[in-house]
């Protein structure tokens, strides 16, 4: 095991460096809005994976954080008139607070109940967003200006917007990476593997789970707030349970508990949706469902997980 870990540790810095360079030049080769969508959902999925992949908690209500942060950011930027970075921070904080509320309630139960509680709480948020007048109801919250970052840089240009999204993603990703590789992350893994043992070792399991939940919710919120700026819109879809399901799918497809998996999964799902929407129309849901079934039945390690397993096998030889 030690040996294989070191294989990854040696590869990782190069891989991250390479990906960073690709991220820097990508908007000149690929349509920037498409890339921004992938990065937003990638961050969303990475945040979700922090919870499911590393703490073993399946939240089926993560759309609530994405959506709430999106609406809060939209309101701050459009109606209060703050600069985009304040909007992002506001959205993130709102999602973090909501995550704290969800967490306090959901952590009282484990396993399947945890998933059902988060789903039900998120559905409550959905109904509130639907009924409150300030959110624009079914029309969504439209016409959010991108504004000037720090009051200086005009974001209406897609390229400058892209670099902001890229920077946000890198910051979020770095936070997740550091969390996973900190003593805190190790304790989360211990809780995932064997909760009674973690308790008997003297760890306050509830506190660690809650902390992980809040970090995950905040970063999901950061992704949602960024997404609102990119598309200048927060919509009901963002808080719908379909979105919660989608982020589970992205993470599962990319590789549960792998650091890069969720990004790969998000990229795959977003590309599929974009490509397929024109060809197959309403069959997109069926295809998403089928990918779910295939992943669970045959492909539980996900794309990145399978690649890692291959490298590991090569490393042993």
CB of 125 to other proteins, least distance (A): 9
245 binds other proteins (CB under 8 A): yes
117 binds other proteins (CB under 8 A): yes
Alpha-carbon distance 65 to 101, whole Å? 11
CB of 57 to other proteins, least distance (A): 10
CB of 83 to other proteins, least distance (A): 34
Cβ-proximal residues to 140 (8 Å cutoff; 6+ apart), any chain: 233, 234, 235, 236
Three-state SS for 153? strand
Residue closer to other proteins by CB (options 89, 284) is 284
Residue closer to other proteins by CB (options 90, 265) is 265
Q: Among 272, 284, 307, 311, indicate the residue that binds other proteins (CB under 8 A).
A: 284
CB contact at 8 A, 84 and 202:
no
127 binds other proteins (CB under 8 A): yes
Three-state SS for 86? helix
DSSP state of 292: H
Q: Among 100, 163, 292, 299, indicate the residue that binds other proteins (CB under 8 A).
A: 292
131 binds other proteins (CB under 8 A): yes
Query: Residues 46 to 75: which contact other proteins by CB under 8 A?
Result: 58
CB of 236 to other proteins, least distance (A): 13
CB contact at 8 A, 267 and 46:
no
Query: Which residue stretch of 40-48, 165-173, 212-220, 281-289 sits at the interface with other proteins (rule: CB under 8 A)?
Result: 281-289
Structure tokens at 282: 């309403």
Give the length of the chain. 317
In terms of phi and psi (left: phi > 0; alpha: psi -120 to 50; beta: otherwise), the region of 143 is left
Q: Among 134, 159, 201, 286, indicate the residue that binds other proteins (CB under 8 A).
A: 286
Q: Give exposure, 56-87, as e/b (b: 16+ Cβ within 10 Å).
A: bbbbbbbbbbbbbbbbbbbbbbbeeebbbbbb
235 binds other proteins (CB under 8 A): no
Question: Which parts of this chain interact with other proteins (CB under 8 A)?
Answer: 58, 105, 108-109, 111-113, 115-117, 119-121, 123-124, 127-128, 131, 241, 245, 248, 252, 281-293, 295-297, 300
């Amino acid at each position: 095991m030690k040996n294989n870990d070191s294989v990854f540790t040696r590869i990782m810095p190069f891989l991250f460096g390479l990906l960073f360079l690709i991220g820097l030049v990508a908007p000149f080769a690929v349509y920037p809005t498409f890339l921004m969508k992938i990065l937003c959902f990638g961050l969303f999925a990475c945040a979700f994976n922090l919870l499911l992949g590393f703490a073993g908690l399946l939240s089926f209500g993560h759309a609530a954080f994405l959506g709430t942060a999106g609406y809060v950011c939209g309101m701050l930027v459009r109606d209060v008139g703050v600069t985009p970075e304040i909007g992002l921070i506001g959205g993130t904080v709102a999602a973090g607070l909501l995550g704290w509320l969800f967490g306090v309630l959901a952590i009282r139960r484990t396993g399947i109940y945890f998933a059902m509680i988060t789903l039900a709480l998120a559905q409550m948020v959905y109904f509130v967003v639907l009924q409150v007048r300030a959110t624009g109801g079914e029309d969504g919250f439209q016409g959010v200006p991108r504004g000037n970052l720090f009051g200086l840089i005009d974001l209406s240009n897609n390229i400058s917007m892209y670099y902001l999204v890229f920077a946000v993603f890198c910051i979020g990703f770095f936070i997740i990476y550091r969390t996973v590789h900190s003593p805190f992350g190790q304790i989360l893994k211990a809780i995932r593997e064997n909760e009674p043992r973690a308790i008997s070792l003297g760890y306050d399991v509830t506190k660690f789970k809650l902390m992980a939940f809040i970090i995950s919710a905040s970063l999901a919120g950061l992704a949602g707030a960024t997404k609102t700026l990119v598309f200048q819109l927060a919509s009901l879809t963002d808080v719908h349970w379909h979105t919660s399901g989608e982020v589970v799918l992205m993470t599962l497809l990319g590789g549960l508990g792998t650091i890069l998996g969720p990004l790969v999964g998000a990229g795959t799902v977003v590309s599929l949706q974009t490509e397929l929407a024109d060809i197959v129309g309403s069959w997109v849901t069926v295809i998403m469902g089928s990918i779910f079934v295939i992943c669970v039945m045959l492909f539980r390690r996900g794309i990145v997980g399978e690649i890692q397993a291959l490298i590991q096998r090569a490393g042993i030889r």
